[in-house]
């Protein structure tokens, strides 16, 4: 079985086929998620909150990301594996390159993800020039939660929306291959998805992106506390983890998820 590649994802966008993505943090879940038909596994620094019990993603270290990425890699045979560059592990292009090298060489990732807009363009250019596939992340940036003043919808004001659209275009021109939009109004996410040629994966960004991603523990309903508005408890309605994963994939592919109540105006 050949592994999903960036070429595969680009072809899916061109054909209008939705891309199903979930976070994964270990080998066993990586295998189950792949068997359900997910194309992309994101080893997210969200593990800080849902696995480690931290209050944010900020305490997660590069060593921990390498460790969890390696576990996911060992359980994976087909999906494209993306690993988050954790907080302040890419403060300069040189540091980003060293961190990406570890996630790919030691962890087995095929792509790295970084948060931020125009300030990250030089870093994206250097990574791309040296053959490192990059997933950009715009909208709500969990690593900047203290700067943003909390977990808030981004891009509602016209000026903010214009900046985000410009950042998306600039990221693609700099060499980014994929884009995650988090907690962005539906209309803005649709506009960005139509404007850039790289696939766009949404989380709390409405149904018009090229694919969807959720935090695994959120969509299984096992994250402590209140579930995010943009998520859905697929385990509650199926009663089995494997069925919950399969229903998630089916609903992403069919366009039934996300529904109206999972997005923002």
What is the rounded distance in angstroms from the CA atom of residue 219 to the CA atom of residue 102?
A: 29
CA atoms within 13 A on the CB side of 258: 29
Torsional class of 23: left (φ above 0), alpha (ψ -120 to 50), beta (otherwise): beta
Residue 250: other Cβ atoms inside 10 A: 14
Place of tokens 């959120």: 218
Question: Under DSSP, is residue 212 helix (H, G, I), strand (E, B) or coil?
Answer: strand
Q: Are strands 200-203 and 80-84 parallel, antiparallel or unpaired?
A: unpaired
Residue the block writes with tokens 């087909």: 78
Residue 204 token pair: 């709390």
Q: What are the CB-based long-range contacts (under 8 Å, 24+) for 60-65?
A: 60/86, 60/87, 61/86, 62/86, 62/89, 62/99, 62/102, 62/103, 65/89, 65/103, 65/107
| Catalytic choice (172, 182, 194, 250) | 182
Q: Is 185 helix (H, G, I), strand (E, B) or coil?
A: coil
Instruction: For residue 17, indicate whether it is catalytic.
Output: no
Sign of the four-CA dihedral 241, 246, 250, 253: positive
The catalytic residue positions are 182
């Amino acid at each position: 079985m050949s592994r999903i590649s960036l070429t595969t994802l680009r072809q899916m966008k061109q054909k209008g086929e939705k891309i199903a993505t979930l976070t994964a943090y270990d080998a066993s879940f990586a295998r189950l998620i792949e068997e359900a038909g997910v194309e992309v596994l994101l080893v997210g620094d969200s593990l800080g909150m849902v696995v480690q019990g931290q209050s944010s993603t900020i305490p997660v270290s590069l060593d921990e990301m390498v460790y969890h990425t390696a576990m996911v890699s060992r359980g994976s045979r087909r999906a494209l594996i993306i690993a988050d560059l954790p907080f302040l592990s890419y403060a300069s292009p040189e540091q980003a390159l060293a961190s990406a090298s570890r996630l790919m060489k030691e962890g087995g990732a095929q792509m790295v993800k970084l948060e931020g807009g125009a300030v990250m363009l030089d870093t994206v250019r250097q990574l791309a020039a040296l053959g490192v596939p990059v997933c950009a992340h715009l909208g709500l940036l969990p690593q900047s939660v203290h700067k943003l003043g909390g977990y808030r919808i981004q891009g509602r004001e016209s000026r903010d929306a214009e900046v985000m659209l410009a950042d998306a275009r600039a990221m693609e021109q700099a060499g980014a291959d994929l884009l995650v939009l988090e907690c962005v109004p539906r209309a803005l996410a649709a506009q960005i998805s139509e404007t850039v040629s790289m696939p766009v994966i949404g989380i709390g960004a409405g149904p018009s992106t090229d694919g969807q991603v959720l935090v695994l523990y959120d969509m299984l309903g096992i994250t402590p506390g209140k579930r995010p508005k943009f998520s859905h408890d697929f385990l509650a309605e199926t009663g089995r983890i494997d069925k919950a994963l399969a229903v998630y994939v089916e609903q992403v592919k069919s366009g039934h998820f996300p529904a109206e109540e999972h997005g923002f105006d």
